Structure formats: C-alpha cells, structure tokens
C-alpha cells in the first residue's frame, strides 16, 4: 500500500511539473489574427454558453491585444474587469491597451490597482512599474509645458506654504561622499513633510524640472533665479544648501531657506559635527529651518521629526547612491544600492520600499513594448496552436493559482507612502567606515 502511495505521489509530481512546464514554456508570439480563428470561436462559444465567466472575456481580450486590435481588446477586457475587477492580469492588459490607445489617464487608473494585487502575482510589479513610469512621464510633460509658457507665469503661482527642497551640493573632493547630497536632501524633504503647515513639492517633480533645465552642480541659486524656480514649482519657499566632509570624520552643512514672495533671502546657517552624528545634525537643521520660517511645531510633529530611517551611516551612503542612480534613470543599479542598504540595516524599511519601486521600474521597461515582453516572460502569450480543452483548463488553473498565491497575506489596499517608511532609531552608535563610492 505504501509503495502504491509513493508511486502515485511520484506520478502526481511528474504530472504537475509537466503542467508547469507547459504553462511556462516559451510561446511564439503571433500578430496574425487568422491564426487565432479557431480559438476565438471556441471562446465566443464559451461566452455564449456562460457570459458571466470573466476568464473567457479576458482571454479573448488578450488575443485581440496580442494581434494589436486594441479597440476590440478594450471592449472584452473591460467586460472581464466588470465581472472580476480584482484580476491583476486583466488590469495589466487593460492598462497596456490604454497605453497603446494613448489614453494615459485611463492607463494610469488601471496600473494604479497594483496596490490591490497579490504580493506574489507576476503582474503586480509590472503594474507598479508602469504606474511609476507613467507618473514620471506626466510630471515631465507638465514641466515641459510650464517651461514653454514660463514668460506668462505670474508670481501668484508661488504658494506661501509650497516648499521645494533641493539636493545639497557637495563642495568636497572625496568621491565616496558625493552621493550624500541626495540622501540629505531626501531626509530634509521627509522631515519637513511632517510639518502640517508646509506643502512639499514632490521629489519626482523637482527632479523633472532639474532635468529639463539641465541644472548642473556648479550652478547656484541667487536672488535673481529664485523666483523662476518658485513659479515653476508652485513653491514660495526654497530650501537648499551645501555640505562638505572635512578630513575623514567631520561633516559641515550649510542650509538656507528663502521666502521668495516676501523677498526674504537670509544667509544660510552652517553647522558642523562628527560624520557619525549625521542624523542628529540633520534633525538640528530641520528644527532650525522650521524656526526660521516662524512655524510653531506641535509636540506630535516634533516627535515625528525625531524619527530616523536608519542608524547606520554605511547603509545611508548606499541609499544615497541609490537615489543618485534612480534620478539618472538607472533603476537596476538603484535597486542594487537600495538592497545593499537594506542588508546593512535590516530595519531600514525605507530602503526596502525604494528597492521594490526601483525593481518594478526596471522590470516594467521604458516602453509599452518592453513591458509586454516582460509580462510574456512570466506568463507566455496565448498560443493559437494549443488545443482547446483539458490542457487549456489546466494551464489557466495553474496561472490563476500563481496569480492568487499570497493574496491572503496582503491588505486590500497598499497604503505605502515613501515619507512614512521610517523606523524609530535608538541611540546612534559609531558606524563602520563608509564603502568607496561606485
């Protein structure tokens, strides 16, 4: 009896691996609709027999998508989405269909549903990546449009509460510390974002402007250029500064905060401390900037500002290099630095979240075609040659199983916000020497 059970188990495992191979085997992509006629008729018959089965509508929509008949694909995929709005494969292909139809806001709305997709779904990361790609594209287009009509922009665009925080400019010569300016600027942005009286300009919006006007590290703000940045960003307050590492263990930071509408341009405030006390120094700068703005912090705001994302300087340097690579559009390299930061400090949750976002941006590709190619690597396109019937049903069940695994471990809505992904740090201790900058 035991021998028969072992044999049955072996047969089952062999059949399962064969089915998984069938589900994952590469399928040649075809754009000729005539090759799919038999499969289309089969799916249409299934829909006629049972119009409430979302998978048949979805598969028919995917076939039309694969053959570049996007209008038809949209019709069938929307019907599938109505029947099963949480199916991540349907949402992904609906989003991609909208992209090819150049309906960017609609595409964004479908890709944004990545937050509701199961963690282990192969489409979750692709949808997140496309959502972030499209968001960057929209922001970039907005910045370009503003630059084209820059002469017509009025001073009223500079909102009194609007605050733009720029990366700090490095004055030193040690290359390994050159990336710290991105990280320090990010920390200032996060901490000032905890002040209710301020409205922070999103980091990607600021970076889009810097990319468009090609602002170099040698350029500085002055009273004549400040109104330009304020009007373009809709910010009445500008926070920026410089930093330098003196020797190997002293950090000097100078930060200024300007109120452009009121023509208030005070000199920057310089602070110096041991490099290992970088996080304490950054908090002192934030409190000084807020005080200079004339803002009275609540006890809750003060307590939240005291939070630090990591107590490990080496991890923070790796994180800063990740920000630098991300701003340069090198998302794979950025993810590697974020992962390194997370390994150096397992409690560095902000680095882990950044790594996931950068990986999704990298996998989703820069173009819709690249995103579809990535999807077909994890879930091959529907083949016109596969027989209709039992093995189709098995493959679909396996794909649905893979898409649903882990769904019970994730909340329905992913409320992840970069500015909130910080961990409470205990006492700062002297970190190891920072790694050489790559």
On the question of pLDDT at 395 being above 60, the answer is no
Is residue 424 in a domain? no
- Per-residue pLDDT reduced to its tens digit, 242-297: 999 998 889 999 999 999 999 999 988 889 999 999 999 999 999 999 999 999 99
| 254 and 202 co-located in one domain | yes
| 136 and 167 co-located in one domain | no
Dihedral sign computed on CA atoms, order 313, 317, 127, 28? negative
Average pLDDT, the chain: 82
| 275 and 301 co-located in one domain | yes
Is residue 272 in a domain? yes
Number of domains in the chain: 2
**Which pairs from 360-364 meet CB under 8 Å and 24+ separation?**
360/125, 360/126, 360/128, 360/129, 360/132, 361/129, 361/132, 361/133, 361/326, 361/331, 362/129, 362/331, 362/332, 362/335, 363/125, 363/126, 363/129, 364/125, 364/126, 364/128, 364/129, 364/130, 364/132, 364/133
Residue 435, CB-side half-sphere exposure with 13 Å CA sphere:
15
Predicted TM-score of the model (pTM): 0.78
Of all helices (H) and strands (E), which one includes residue 409? none
- Per-residue pLDDT reduced to its tens digit, 79-112: 999 999 999 999 999 999 999 999 999 999 999 9
Closest alpha carbon to 88 in 55, 124, 61, 53: 124
The pair of three-digit structure tokens given for residue 16, joined into one six-digit string: 């399962």
Is residue 287 in a domain? yes
Residue 384 is predicted with a pLDDT of 77
Is residue 434 in a domain? no
Structural domain harbouring 105: 2-23+36-143+369-391
Q: What is the CATH number of the domain that holds 191?
A: 3.40.50.10070
| 182 and 107 co-located in one domain | no
On the question of pLDDT at 49 being above 70, the answer is yes
- Per-residue pLDDT reduced to its tens digit, 350-376: 999 999 999 999 999 999 999 999 999
Residue with structure tokens 């930060």? Answer: 255
| 295 and 211 co-located in one domain | yes
29 vs 77: which has the higher pLDDT: 77
| 183 and 298 co-located in one domain | yes
**Considering 308, 332, 354, which residue would you say is the last residue of a domain?**
308
Mean pLDDT of 50-79: 95
| 107 and 210 co-located in one domain | no
Structural contact between residues 135 and 403, judged by C-beta atoms closer than 8 angstroms: no
Residue 221 and residue 265: Cα distance in Å, rounded?
11
| 88 and 172 co-located in one domain | no
Mean pLDDT of 312-330: 95
| 77 and 224 co-located in one domain | no
Residue 143 and residue 60: Cα distance in Å, rounded?
39
Residue 217 is predicted with a pLDDT of 42
| 225 and 79 co-located in one domain | no
Is residue 41 in a domain? yes
Mean pLDDT of 120-149: 94
Angle 325-222-146 (CA atoms, 0-180°, nearest 5)? 65
The pair of three-digit structure tokens given for residue 173, joined into one six-digit string: 């010569």
Residue 121 and residue 92: Cα distance in Å, rounded?
11
- For residue 177, what are the CA distances in angstroms to 166, 317, 408? 17, 8, 43
Is residue 422 in a domain? no
The pair of three-digit structure tokens given for residue 171, joined into one six-digit string: 């004055």
On the question of pLDDT at 25 being above 50, the answer is no
Q: What is the CATH number of the domain that holds 51?
A: 1.25.40.10
Residue 30 is predicted with a pLDDT of 53
Of all helices (H) and strands (E), which one includes residue 183? helix 180-192
Q: How far is CA 34 from the centre of its chain?
A: 39
| 168 and 271 co-located in one domain | yes
**Considering 281, 308, 335, which residue would you say is the last residue of a domain?**
308
| 229 and 169 co-located in one domain | yes
Is residue 148 in a domain? no
Give the least confident one: 166-180, 218-232, 256-270.
218-232
- Per-residue pLDDT reduced to its tens digit, 112-133: 999 999 988 989 999 999 999 9
DSSP code string of 62-86: HHHHHTT-HHHHHHHHHHHHHH-TT
**Considering 308, 326, 342, which residue would you say is the last residue of a domain?**
308
Is residue 421 in a domain? no
**Which pairs from 23-29 meet CB under 8 Å and 24+ separation?**
23/380, 23/395, 23/398, 23/399, 24/380, 25/380, 26/380, 27/376, 27/380, 27/381, 27/382, 27/383, 28/383, 29/66, 29/376, 29/381
On the question of pLDDT at 399 being above 80, the answer is no
């Amino acid at each position: 009896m035991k021998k028969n059970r072992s044999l049955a188990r072996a047969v089952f495992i062999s059949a399962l691996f064969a089915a998984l191979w069938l589900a994952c085997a590469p399928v040649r992509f075809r754009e000729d609709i005539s090759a799919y006629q038999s499969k289309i008729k089969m799916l249409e018959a299934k829909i006629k027999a049972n119009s409430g089965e979302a998978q048949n509508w979805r598969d028919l929509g995917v076939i039309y998508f694969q053959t570049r008949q996007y209008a038809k694909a949209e019709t069938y995929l929307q019907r599938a989405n109505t029947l099963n709005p949480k199916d991540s494969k349907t949402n992904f292909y609906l989003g991609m269909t909208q992209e090819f139809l150049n309906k960017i806001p609609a595409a964004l709305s479908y890709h944004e549903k990545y937050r509701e997709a199961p963690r282990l779904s192969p489409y979750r990361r692709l949808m997140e990546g496309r959502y972030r790609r499209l968001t960057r594209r929209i922001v970039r287009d907005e910045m370009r449009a503003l630059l084209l009509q820059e002469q017509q922009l009025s001073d009223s665009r500079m909102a009194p509460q609007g605050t733009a925080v720029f990366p700090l400019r490095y004055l030193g010569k040690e290359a390994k510390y050159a990336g710290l300016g991105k990280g320090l600027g990010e920390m200032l942005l996060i901490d000032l974002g905890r002040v209710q009286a301020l409205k922070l300009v999103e980091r990607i919006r600021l970076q889009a402007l810097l990319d468009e006007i090609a602002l170099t590290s040698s350029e500085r703000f002055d009273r004549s250029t400040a109104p330009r940045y304020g009007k373009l960003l809709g910010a009445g307050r500008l926070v920026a500064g410089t930093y330098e590492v003196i020797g190997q263990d002293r950090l000097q930071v100078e930060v200024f905060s300007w109120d452009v509408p009121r023509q208030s341009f005070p000199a920057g405030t310089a602070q110096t401390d041991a490099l290992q006390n970088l996080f304490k120094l950054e908090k002192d700068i934030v409190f000084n900037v807020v005080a200079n703005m004339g803002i009275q912090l609540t006890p809750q705001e003060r307590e939240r500002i005291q939070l630090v994302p990591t107590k490990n300087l080496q991890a923070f340097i790796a994180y800063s290099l990740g920000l630098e690579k991300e701003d340069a559009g090198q998302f794979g390299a950025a993810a590697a630095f974020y992962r390194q930061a997370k390994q150096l400090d397992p409690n560095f949750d902000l680095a882990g979240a950044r790594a996931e976002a950068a990986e999704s941006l990298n996998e989703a590709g820069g173009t819709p075609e690249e995103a579809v190619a990535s999807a077909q690597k994890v879930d091959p396109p529907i083949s016109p040659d596969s027989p209709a019937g039992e093995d189709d049903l098995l493959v679909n069940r396996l794909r649905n199983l893979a898409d649903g695994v882990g769904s019970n471990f994730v909340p329905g809505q992913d409320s992840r916000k970069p500015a909130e992904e910080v961990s409470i740090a205990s006492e700062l201790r002297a970190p190891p020497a920072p790694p050489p900058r790559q």
